[in-house]
Structure 1
Amino acid sequence: MLLLIDLDNTLVDRTAAFKSWAEARFGRSHVAWLADADGNGYTPREVVAARIAARFGVDEREILNDLRAGMVDYLTLDPAVESALVAASAAGYVPFVVTNGAVAQQESKLRRTGLDRLVAGWTISEGAGARKPDRRIFETAAAAAGLPLSADGWMVGDNEENDVGGGATAGLRTGWVANGREWPAHLAYRPTATAANCATLLEQVIRLA
């Protein structure tokens, strides 16, 4: 069975890694401002680099390179997520990462954390030519995994629209990693399953097989 999984703030805690990078690079007192500028990873890196360069008087290109590569050094894989991925594979699921972003950076994250050895493969928006929630990226991922998009499959992630909305549109069951948030009331659709973190959510997915 197909199990598509988001990367940032789902399989790995990107927010924590960014804050660790920000503190090491600029000091604890600036972390809140830097996190706001980062926009949880959704603000284009070029825009973030320009804002940082203007505020701190540093070289914009150097900061852009550090944003793309330096933060990766602070990523870790929760052992509970590793165990859940192993259990999902044993239960007959084919875990496959679907992530928006640049190929070089996202692949660095996968290899740095060892996720490249725990999943069947990955599809990254830059390489796929489509971004979540576009159905095409889910189709590309399913084809790469050698499985169809079907009601038996899953899309699991932390983003309400990119992951849950996109997965539902692609005809998949969906799992939402809440990360301490409430589901937005304005959205008409809802995830099939919800959990506070990725490991717990994957355990639910296995039980719902």
Structure 2
Amino acid sequence: MKYQWVLFDADETLFHFDNFSGLKRMFSQYGVTFEKDDFQAYQNINKPLWVDYQNGDISALELQTRRFDSWSDKLNVSSNQLNQEFLNAMAEICQTLPGADELVKSLHQSGVKMAIITNGFTQLQEIRLQKTGMSQYFEHLIISEQVGVAKPDARIFEYAFDKMSQPSKENVLMVGDTLESDILGGNQFGVDTCWLNHHKLDEHETIKPTYTVNHLAELKNHL
């Protein structure tokens, strides 16, 4: 095995992130039937905020609250409370992706060390690891909200490597589903990368992963 460490992204790499279902569940508490049109309007606000967050232009708190500002006004509930309830709903419906459990157990049995580097938020990540039984396999959980910078910023990888006692970069693999954060971040930091391309997207002109797989089972075979 070439890799002594495998670093995983969390959302849509190890865990389903079905935010439509989470939002429906959360808004139902307020008697709101959250429809596809509502979700599209939410995503029109949410997605650019994530780009701003990954670029370091806004904080985690700004992202989490600003995406709910319009609903806060409609429901007369604070954006912060709506965000907390959304993350709780997401924790309640959490599931691992197909092949995630088998891959992680197999790597663990092979003596490979693992960590998670996520741009997601503390409230959800820690609960989810506990609920799915995954926490026992990971040496470190590195969360951008706590570090203060998000992938692809090299500083979150530097922070992780400090926690990992500075392994040789050639023995580390970064696995993630998002080219602009996981793969770009890993490439720029100088570690091998594996793009989990679930949706069979076209290759990027400039961001080139070391490996590309469509399923976690493929990665298991690769390793």
Task: Give the TM-score category using the shorter length.
Answer: 0.7 to 0.9
Name stretches of at least 5 consecutive residues in structure 2 with no aligned partner.
52-62
Q: Decide whether aligned partners of structure 1 residues 8 and 107 sit closer, same or farther in structure 2, where only a CA change above 3 A counts.
A: same
Q: Which deviates further from its counterpart, 155-164 or 137-146?
A: 137-146
Where do 1:124-163 residues align within 5 Å? 124-163=143-182
Name structure 1 gaps, 5 residues minimum: none
2:125 match: 106
Q: Secondary structure at the match of 2:68?
A: helix
Determine the C-alpha separation between the residues in 1 that align with 2:177 and 2:41: 18
2:75 partner amino acid? G
After superposition, the C-alpha distances for 1:150-183 in whole angstroms (9 at most, x for unaligned) are: 1221111011121001001111110111121414
What letter matches 1:193 in structure 2?
Y
Q: Distance in 2 between matches of 1:179 and 1:79?
A: 11
Matched, 1:59 2:64: no
Matches within 5 A, 1:113-128: 113-128=132-147
Q: How does 1:1-209 map onto structure 2 within 5 Å?
A: 1-14=4-17, 16=18, 18-24=19-25, 25-26=27-28, 30-34=35-39, 36-38=41-43, 39=46, 42=50, 44-54=63-73, 56-61=74-79, 62-78=81-97, 80-185=99-204, 187-197=205-215, 199-206=216-223
Displacement of 1:78: 3.8
Query: How many residues were matched structurally?
Result: 201
8 Å contact 1:94–1:145 — kept in the other structure? no
Deviations 1:15-67 (A, max 9, x none): x2x2222233347761453255144693722122113334x535234322212
| Superposition CA RMSD, Å | 2.5
User: Are 1:176 and 1:201, in contact at CA under 8 Å, matched by a contact in 2?
Assistant: no
Structure 1 residue 139 displacement after superposition: 1.8
- Closer, same or farther: CA 28–179 of 1 in aligned 2, 3 Å: farther
Q: Percent identity?
A: 22
Say if 1:156 and 1:179 are closer, same or farther in 2 by CA, change over 3 A.
Answer: same
Say if 2:149 and 2:156, in contact at 8 Å, map to a contact too: yes
